[in-house]
Amino acid sequence: MPQEDAPQSMSLSGRCAVITGASRGLGKAIAEHFVGAGASVMLLARNGADLAQVAGQLAPLAGMPGQLVCTFVGDVCSEQQCAAALTEAARRFGKLDILVNNAGVYGPMGPSEDVDFGQWVRAIETNLLGPVLMCRMAIPLFKAQKRGKIINLAGGGATAPMPWISAYAASKAAIVRFTETLALELREYGIDVNAVAPGALNTQMLQEVLAAGPAKVGQAFYDRSLKQLEDGGAGLTRGAGLVTFLASAASDGVTGRLISAVWDDWSNLPAHAGELAEGDIYTLRRIVPRDRGKTWT
């Protein structure tokens, strides 16, 4: 398990980042870690008032010369707004070093055949197509400078089925495979692309599950969520710390991985970058009979 104080040694001084979904929850925590580590940040979300409040809280932490905290009101589902956000970031910062695709929603809850299909599609747009759009806009900037960091937020839906929350599960599995694929496409340009599983967080999304109730999310998942609320969840610090690590030079060469903030010894991954590059550790893969000690095919 990673040390909780590990991110304190990860400098982002002189680096510039765009963080989506930065007006609350994990996105806000990531932004706070980034600013504390010396980065200039553009906070992107749909709610301008919330963004302004977060920016006001973070601005006093920006103590490095030239360090900026700015905002952009936009929706990652809009190609036009994604392009405008990245253009504005490049103008304000003069470059871009880091993209964090954090914006996400659970989407509709209930049996897949019954939920509102428009809401189902909207969840796919937010959780999958939005990050793809942001990556498409950022990659030319990264390629031009022969470096960059892309961090996509995944979650429990990426590694296990989530009955009654199918749009979330499908989108999070897809974003991990997209991450792995993009990492191979961009390796020769010095661009690292990784996905992060931050752990079970007590954010607004948890409240949405509890409000939906067991009839829509299933009794087992509802009971786990209620226990998570009572226990306090994984906390935001580990997830934000891992994202800070992956944004820093300390993680150079670690790419194409799905990394758990809670369970993986991520601060020591650079020592194993060669082994990671050669194998399928921390990736999605198909389980075959021999993986479970079976002899049948």
Active-site positions read: 168
Residue 46: C-alpha distances to residues 51, 52, 236, 237, 283 (Å): 8, 11, 21, 24, 32
Q: Where are the beta strands (DSSP E) in the chain?
A: 16-20, 40-45, 69-73, 98-101, 148-153, 191-197, 258-260
Query: DSSP string of 108-137?
Result: --S-TTTS-HHHHHHHHIIIIIHHHHHHHH
Length of the chain measured in residues: 297
Number of other CB atoms surrounding residue 131 within 10 Å: 30
- Tokens of residue 165, six digits: 């929350």
Measure the N-to-C terminal CA separation of the chain; round to a whole number of Å: 35
Residue type, 195: A
User: What are residue 18's phi and psi, to 5 degrees?
Assistant: -110, 130
